Amino acid sequence: MNMIRSAIIGIGGFGAQHVRVMTELAKEGLLQIVAFADVRAEAYAEEYAKLTSFGAAHYSDYEQMLSEHPEIDFVAIATPIAAHKPMCVRVMQLGFHVIVEKPPAVTIQDLDEMIAAQRATGKLCQVNFQNTSGRAFREMLGQLESGAIGQVTHVTGVGMWKRLRSYYERTRWAGKLLCDGQYVLDGTFNNPLAHLLNNCLIAAGSGDAYRAEPNSVQAELYHVNDIEGDDVSVLRIGTATGVQVHFYAMLAHHDSEVPFISVKGTEGEARWNYQNKLTIAGRDGEHSKSFGNENLVRNMYLNLMQAISGGGEPLYSPIEACRSFVLASNGAYESSGAVRPIPMEYVVEQAEENTTVRLLPGLSDVMKDAAEQGKLYSEYGLPWATSTKPFKLDGYSRFELPAGMI
């Protein structure tokens, strides 16, 4: 691989993970870090020091950075969600490849604008859905494509995590639907467990997200914390090929368990989880593999760098492949119509780690059973749950926040 030259916009928050990967690749002689842009770089002294130690120049204005360094091959964008679309479009228009943090956009109109810019410029745009890059997930997609469990009929994703109050206090946009007049739609499936939903949709298409484009969503969105967005959700997604996807998520569990996906087919079942483990029970018997720890963000960088050099596999998460994810997300809000508060009589609030946490033990006890039965929370009979109607996505091209959420 030829030496690739890079820059990054946004070095705080998850941007620090990008800085870590970039500097590791630079140490190995695989990447040259030319410059970085951040309006508050002084607030991130460690990342600033790392980048400048490799000769990277600091800018406050990313457009100035790019105009002065046309030799850059790709730009990492690790800014707050609302900045992803305008920056990504502009960077590609200026002639640079991109790796942008997930979600790339939270409305279908913004995502379609990004896709149009990518097609018009011909630049590569990798979305950092890094859980698409793990060897267990790649192996599962290959097995599904080869028909190891027959024809895929149903995909279920389950994520049960705990988030303290401090999680929602870490940044101004945390838990918000709107921030400074911009959509952020922060919640279970658009942020912490976005990888789980995205991988569910890719699995539903046996590796091809285009085949699993949603045509309907029925969703129930709730919160136990004092936030605008959801911290408890369930989605039922119908796809163009007839595969049904169920997604179950909560951030009010008593612990943080390992998220997993179950893929059922006409001849067996596949099971994958965040620990890079895979089990296939199909026509050739049952086989399990554990691939150990991988640096998934590094995988995404190497995948993009190989594509820039003209070799390697196709992008793990090209911008076009994220359309199913954004459609499912927008459809969930349209179907739910509101993010409903769960009455405190069902919630346990307790002190933890110099802050507090709100738990929902009644859901913790039954979520996996509800997932096994393919039931929404209202169908399962949870007393705080409210039924909703499916929302059709045929021809859907513009999201507006439902009146009940404003």
Domain boundaries, the chain: 153-287+330-405
Q: Does residue 406 have a pLDDT over 80?
A: no
The mean pLDDT value for 378-395 works out to 98
Structure tokens, 278 = 């895979």
Digit-coded pLDDT (tens) for 192-216:
999 999 999 999 999 988 888 999 9
- On whether the pTM is more than 0.75, the answer is yes
Q: Does residue 2 have a pLDDT over 80?
A: no
Residue tagged 């943080």 (tokens): 256
The residue length of the chain stands at: 406
> In what helix (H) or strand (E) does residue 216 lie, and over which residues does it extend?
strand 214-223
pLDDT at 283: 84
Which of 111, 106, 329, 371 has the alpha carbon at shortest distance from 219? 329
Digit-coded pLDDT (tens) for 10-43:
999 999 999 999 999 999 999 999 999 999 988 9
The mean pLDDT value for 161-177 works out to 95
Higher pLDDT, 222 or 80: 222
* DSSP secondary structure, 310-339, as one string: T-SSPPSSBGGGGHHHHHHHHHHHHHH-SE
Digit-coded pLDDT (tens) for 118-135:
999 999 999 999 999 999
Query: Which residues does 8 contact at the CB level (< 8 Å), separation at least 6?
Result: 15, 18, 19, 22, 33, 36, 37, 51, 75, 76, 77, 78
Which of 130, 106, 100, 172 has the alpha carbon at shortest distance from 319? 100
pLDDT at 208: 87
Query: Which residues does 393 contact at the CB level (< 8 Å), separation at least 6?
Result: 214, 215, 216, 217, 327, 331
- Asked if 9 contacts 75 with a C-beta cutoff of 8 angstroms, the reply is yes
The mean pLDDT value for 260-277 works out to 98
Counting runs of H as helices and runs of E as strands, what totals does the chain give? Answer: 13, 20
Structure tokens, 237 = 């997604």
C-alpha 382/C-alpha 161 separation (Å) is 19
Confidence band for 373, pLDDT divided at 50, 70 and 90: very high
In CATH, the architecture of 153-287+330-405 is 2-Layer Sandwich (3.30)
Q: Does residue 348 have a pLDDT over 70?
A: yes
pLDDT at 202: 97
Mean pLDDT of the chain: 96
In the chain the first and final C-alpha atoms are separated, in Å, by 50
Confidence band for 1, pLDDT divided at 50, 70 and 90: low
Task: Return the beta strands (E) in 25-137 as ranges.
Answer: 31-37, 57-59, 74-77, 97-100, 125-127
Pairing of strands 178-179, 214-223: unpaired
Q: Does residue 366 have a pLDDT over 90?
A: yes
Confidence band for 62, pLDDT divided at 50, 70 and 90: very high
The mean pLDDT value for 137-144 works out to 97
Question: Residue 211 carries which DSSP code?
Answer: G
pLDDT at 72: 98
Residue tagged 């594509």 (tokens): 307
